Structure 1
């Protein structure tokens, strides 16, 4: 990428180029000097990353499906927004990620988990960031409990969904905000071109 405009002083360029890179590493787009060259690309990549989505598979029993439905309805009431099913899973994972690891380990030992998993597959679409967060939770659990098997992502998803209806509303809304910032689908809003009725 051409970073230096014609006639730009090389010393000035080097100093401000370094500062621009430092701003990008901190997650901020520079708005001055040669950093402006990065700005459009920075936000395009950030926007594209937020839109990157994939399908997540939940293997649930009828009781497990009830947990998903209850969690989804609870989150709709808490946020007062019509949210996507994948957003519910994303918020659940964000909330679980905020819990201490020892509490997560205790939740994973719950007897009810074996009754909530099942053969029926349910697919929800969510941001790719969800997978990264869920995987980091399994790694935390493995690190703190090396004698136990690393939990599957399926078990992590179920444990996360179980927390939604028990969560403090303020903490749940913070998890909702984090999910939106990390790429969860925003609640639908009416467009001026929508047909009324």
Structure 2
């Protein structure tokens, strides 16, 4: 789909204020109109994403295996649940694969097992890896259900712009799990220190 007019002289691509030559539009978000066209094309299956619509994702498994049986994540296996790190280590490659099949770029990051030994090691490693490229979106996977009372899905962001993306993630995940919604969390190292957010 290319240049879809929605009123005389205006195109869907121009719905985003930043892309509109008159600096007017429907939304302040960067690439808003192009995102609409990309979504429509995906639904219709009519075209592959255009090069400017391809996003670059960083998908990171939260926590690390320190070696000698020590893993920094929560372990719910004794309560009929899962080990957070092991679960996300299995899930993350599928997320990367799905993103690539949708025509995007995606980098998988899993901490090298037995080489990190503290939270500071994890932070330095993950932030260092994320900082190697300019990503459009950086995601760190976690599980945080507790005691049957806290369950569902949520996504954290640093600011309101990130919260809009987090809301879209929650909306999609909320078709399967309870949607706990997006939250702004400025104190987390992942939201505070990543380049893409």
Per the TM superposition, whether the score is higher than 0.5 is no
* TM-score normalized by the length of structure 1: 0.29
Greater fraction of residues in strand: 2
Greater fraction of residues in helix: 1
For CA contacts below 8 A with separation 6 or more, give which structure has more relative contact order.
1
* TM-score normalized by the length of structure 2: 0.29
